[in-house]
Chain A
């Protein structure tokens, strides 16, 4: 029983981390109808920027305080992501308005390659460290009820809390602020939004910037766990089932989907895996999402797909 609970906790927390990345996908799809395959590369780029800035700032300015150094690095990295968003809007999306979904998908794949190449060219391809003071050792709770206690990873716990806070902030942003309302309007219908005077390209820059900053937060958390290196962009492949399970247009869907995929993945690997030889979690996540989609083709919380003839 104890190991089952540990697996459950572990799965829930990993699920929150996946949903952090899935949030970026959902944000961009909601507001501009583009499935941003480059989200993984953006996570990598943002994490590389943060890691290297955090390394260079103390060297260049002699700043000793770690917290201040990290904060400045974070701010600089966020600035980099905003500039990136602006560039993407100007050079890519602005020229591909009204194209088919698959063309936009391929364009984001092209951006992926570009970001992976330029990120490593600018920042290097070694493994870099992000140290934001996350605790590395686990804690063991409920020592009395279970022998050896239940393993809870403190770093994952903090990360899950940060993800929840971020989601809450985003929800408030979308519901309560004027820009959020404009974003929802654009997501509903581009032409209608344009006709009432909402500037489409500025909205898209804002959306991509927000997605970029979400990618930065995800990158910092994953990078602090795993180290920042090229393979970080592959974590996005594990977040894709979350996106389609929850629905491409739903933020709560990203969270719930993340939790389901996280738990499903871990449970399958630990209990089903040994019988099949191990290593099944990545395709199991996709098969799980597929199974859900067969019942609800638009994902759990996505907008129903209406075909007009």
Chain B
């Protein structure tokens, strides 16, 4: 009843091909963006910004990048943490070594460095497939772990191995307070999401999906696997690199290589799978789920008034997290995005049953 397209006629090709062709969708997105840009900065308190919204935004950007590689192009990668690390350290080096480097340029250069590294580690994907590739990408992960600990050049010869950034500012506005950090991340995420959505709807995205579905057939009809796979790695690493730079600069402020360890890679892969492979929206859902769940689990005992020791609470968190992952995969193996799409389908018919 509410979600009908009745009466919405498209008169231009442009109108027909827009990302949100239905008016209700456009209104909904407009509302969400309005709330995100205008309401949330006024309403939320510092803890919500620092611990929930900012990590959610940055990790959803990283999940977006990974989704392009895994969901749209079908190349399983377990080395995402490494690419985030490359982005973060590259951006740090550009900031630290070049005087007066603007923050945005540093972030983008970090992303570009990550692209180069990503393409390099993507070359094996031309020969190795499936689970073998997944494990081979761990080579990137462990190599990055080692390189950022061992090579002093990357940490600007810091004696402790930790690096930190201070006093960020964009176009003269300081990015110090939680609200400004939140708005900065939100802007970047919106821009990248739009770019990614358009990319996957276009020629390149269709090439990726062809390679994912059946790469031999794709090669037969003239899609070059080298070009498609390497561009997937390139775009994905760029986005992940920028996300990594944001993670280090905006969220952590000061970090060591352990911040981008294999646990981070697994976490991102969870987000992509739970959110839904091959779906931009899915990356956001997955990120929200994975960011909120541990916080929720750690707060619940206190809220319910049950005194749980920190140890038991931590173990329970692990157990519940694992069970929920399995439960999710059983209930909806295609992720939250599929649930969302099913919900929308049902909404089109509502209140009628069929």
A95 on interface, CB distance cutoff 8 Å = yes
A99 to B134 Cα, complex, angstroms? 18
A118 touches B143 (CB 8 A): no
Q: Which residue of A lies closest to B74 (CB)?
A: A102
A95 touches B315 (CB 8 A): no
A78 on interface, CB distance cutoff 8 Å = no
Chain B contacts for A106, CB-based, 8 A: 269-270, 273, 325, 329
B329 touches A103 (CB 8 A): yes
B319 touches A290 (CB 8 A): no
Stretch in B18-26, B58-66, B121-129, B180-188 with 4+ CB within 8 Å of A: B121-129
A113 touches B273 (CB 8 A): no
Answer whether A111 and B312 are a contact pair too, CB < 8 Å, given A286-B142, A293-B136, A307-B216.
no
A92 on interface, CB distance cutoff 8 Å = yes
The interface size of chain B toward A, counting residues with CB under 8 Å, comes to 49
Q: Chain B interface mostly helix, strand, loop or mixed?
A: helix
Answer whether A294 and B329 are a contact pair too, CB < 8 Å, given A114-B323, A243-B135.
no
Stretch in A55-63, A161-169, A272-280 with 4+ CB within 8 Å of B: A272-280
B333 on interface, CB distance cutoff 8 Å = yes
A112 on interface, CB distance cutoff 8 Å = yes
A107 touches B326 (CB 8 A): yes
B325 touches A293 (CB 8 A): no
A105 to B70 Cα, complex, angstroms? 13
A180 on interface, CB distance cutoff 8 Å = no
B1 on interface, CB distance cutoff 8 Å = no
A293 touches B317 (CB 8 A): no
Answer whether A110 and B329 are a contact pair too, CB < 8 Å, given A248-B132, A297-B128, A305-B129.
yes
Nearest CB on B from A170, distance (A): 22
A116 on interface, CB distance cutoff 8 Å = yes
The contact of A102 among B216, B217, B273, by CB within 8 Å, is: B273
Answer whether A309 and B319 are a contact pair too, CB < 8 Å, given A103-B273, A244-B135, A294-B124.
no
Within 8 A of A (CB), among B108-147: 124, 127-132, 134-136, 138-139, 142-143, 145-146
* 8 A–B contacts, CB within 8 A, in A order: A92-B330, A110-B326, A113-B325, A114-B322, A125-B311, A237-B138, A279-B150, A309-B216
Report A's interface with B, CB cutoff 8 A: 35, 91-92, 95-96, 99-103, 105-107, 109-118, 120-121, 125, 237, 240-241, 243-244, 248, 276-280, 282-283, 286-287, 289-290, 293-294, 297-299, 305, 307, 309
Task: List 18 other contacts, CB 8 Å, given A91-B326, A290-B136.
Answer: A96-B330, A99-B333, A101-B131, A102-B277, A107-B330, A110-B324, A110-B325, A111-B322, A113-B322, A121-B315, A121-B316, A121-B319, A278-B150, A286-B143, A289-B139, A294-B128, A297-B128, A307-B216
